[in-house]
Amino acid sequence: MGWKKIIKEYGIFFFVYWTALWAVSGIIIFLLLEYGMIGGADAILFLEWIRLDSIIPLESIDPTIGNAAIAIAVNECLEIIRFPFAVSSFMILKKILGRNRN
């Protein structure tokens, strides 16, 4: 399903909502890596566990931007959870906000 179809079906506010969820989860992952709450090695092990190393050579990640690169990779892997959550929670929010208008 492409973004044009999604925007047509759910509206532009869904796209804004999903983008906010994507950005917040990416920032949280980056901060967890930056402050050592999640080790970079742990994140790389996760990426290897999901076989991302077969697509992207993880050893080539530049250490100076490593946390940002790992945060982006992990954040993208979370999309399989984030998108269904965004759709279902958006529909609930839409119902709640729709009731408040009446």
Domain-embedded: residue 46: yes
pLDDT at 101: 57
Per-residue pLDDT of the chain (102 residues; tens, 9 = 90+): 677 887 788 788 888 999 999 999 999 999 998 888 877 777 778 878 888 788 878 777 766 677 888 888 889 989 999 999 998 999 888 888 776 555
Among 19, 1, 5, 18, CA closest to 91 = 18
Helices and strands, number each (H, E), in the chain: 5, 0
Q: Domain total for the chain?
A: 1
Domain-embedded: residue 99: no
pLDDT at 45: 81
Domain-embedded: residue 25: yes
Domain-embedded: residue 101: no
Structural domain including 34 reads: 17-90
pTM, two decimal places: 0.73
